[in-house]
Amino acid sequence: MKRIAILGSGMAGFGAAHRLHNEGVASTMYEKRSHHGGHTTSYKYENGFVFDEGPHISFTKIERMKNLLAESVKQEYQEVSAYVNNYWKGRWIKHPAQCNLHGLPRELLMNILKDFIHALHDKTESIANYEEWLIAAFGKTFAETFPMEYTVKYHTTTASNMSTDWLGPRLYQPSLEEVLQGALYPSTPDVHYISDFRYPTYNGFISYLGMFEKQTEIKLDHALIGLDPKKKTMTFSNGSVVSYEHVISSVPLPDLIPMIQGAPKDVVEASQKLACSTAVIVSVGINRADITDAHWTYFYDRDIFFTRLSTPHMQSPNNVPSGCGSIQAECYYSPKYRPLDRKPEACIAPVIADLKKVGLLREDDMILFSDAKLVSYANVIFDLDRAASLKVVHGYLDEIGINYCGRYGEWAYIWTDESFISGEKAAQRILDRVSG
């Protein structure tokens, strides 16, 4: 085969390159930015702080992927036991909240338990949306108090406007015994789906791509602006025009489809109905490491500016100068439901103010570093438009022979290992087509 084109240099793109490399097939990877990595990018600053482009950890259960990533960093990784918690109205609650209700206001706790028991015996025959699923799984009071509030902050839309296609293991469904134990006792077993994770010891999450960089030719500063599926050519913003025999794309579908010459109007319209959140990632470095015991925390209150926090210095001590700590805050918006109403850097001050409000920052803390980055494509929103629109878009791409992969090619809520495997599968489809 001639050299295969891969659009995008994130985990999915390198998964595709790796699969092709294993079969002795050359590929060229085109990246719009001046550095590779996509969302796996890490930024190493002169003052010694390292921050990823949003929180990234590896918690894959797939031994092959564990071994591949470990090999890529030459076995230099941290193995961390995860502790996760929640913040709600001044209370720190172990995650998942449904198993750790001890200490909630008595009336609220009684209503949660009453509704949960009712939900266990109410066999709902059909579930139309995520809100109905939450009420059926946890009862009305808990659903409205916790996950439905978090949905508005994280997904930027209501649970009633979302499907349940994305859930997987993400929301733990406890037994009545587990709920009662968590309501009566302050200490509970750990039941979160992430019990431990790995993270590179040095230079941030992007280090996991180290081995794979050598398995493809990477061309930076190549932003796609046009693709002709009949002539099999790609045009880039730097003026270059490249022919391809096969192409694998992790470009977000709402961006990709309008760039395809001859794309039908209904397909373009369908691509624009696909919703995704935008994130402003605020990174803060301070002069102490004893900030919190949690590796990440969910925030339910709408008057708290950020939605989720993580602590990069607890992923690897080499992410910070000696004796320092770091916090990364995620603030969510979306073009479709909650447009960003300020410049990214304008998010720093309210994040710092609310870090003090919840008690994670002290007045005498010295802030050594702060930064805000805009992530235009953060999380796929599984709203009620997604399934039908995606069927139209994927059907068209299948028809014209464009192989899609990754979170924004699959338009799915997939993790690091799943993105890599998605790229491998896209490459395998080409290999099967050629050998067949």
What is the C-alpha to C-alpha distance for residues 4 and 234, in angstroms, rounded to an integer? 12
Would the CA dihedral through 16, 19, 21, 26 be positive or negative? negative
Question: What six digits make up the tokens of 342?
Answer: 């300020």
What confidence score (pLDDT) does residue 169 get? Answer: 77
CATH fold match for the domains 4-34+220-270+385-435 and 42-95+192-204+277-379: no
What confidence score (pLDDT) does residue 124 get? Answer: 75
Return the beta strands (E) in 262-339 as ranges.
278-286, 296-299, 308-310, 325-333
What is the C-alpha to C-alpha distance for residues 296 and 312, in angstroms, rounded to an integer? 9
What is the C-alpha to C-alpha distance for residues 137 and 149, in angstroms, rounded to an integer? 16
What is the C-alpha to C-alpha distance for residues 37 and 8, in angstroms, rounded to an integer? 8
Question: What six digits make up the tokens of 17?
Answer: 């390159």
Could you give the angle at which helices 386-400 and 265-272 cross, rounded to 10 degrees?
Answer: 130
What confidence score (pLDDT) does residue 171 get? Answer: 86
Whether 249 and 234 have beta carbons less than 8 Å apart is answered as no
Residue with tokens 């015994």: 177
What is the C-alpha to C-alpha distance for residues 423 and 436, in angstroms, rounded to an integer? 20
Whether 158 and 80 have beta carbons less than 8 Å apart is answered as no
Count other Cβ atoms within 10 Å, centred on residue 140: 19
What confidence score (pLDDT) does residue 1 get? Answer: 62
Query: Which residues of the chain fall below pLDDT 70?
Result: 1, 436
Q: Which residues contact 225 (CB under 8 A, 6 or more apart)?
A: 235, 236, 237, 259
The CATH number of domain 4-34+220-270+385-435 is 3.30.450.20: no
Question: What six digits make up the tokens of 133?
Answer: 């699923």
Whether 404 and 397 have beta carbons less than 8 Å apart is answered as yes
Q: Residue ranges per domain, the chain? A: 4-34+220-270+385-435, 42-95+192-204+277-379, 99-184
Model confidence pLDDT, tens digit, residues 405-418: 999 999 999 999 99
- Identify the CATH number of the domain defined by range 42-95+192-204+277-379: 3.90.660.10
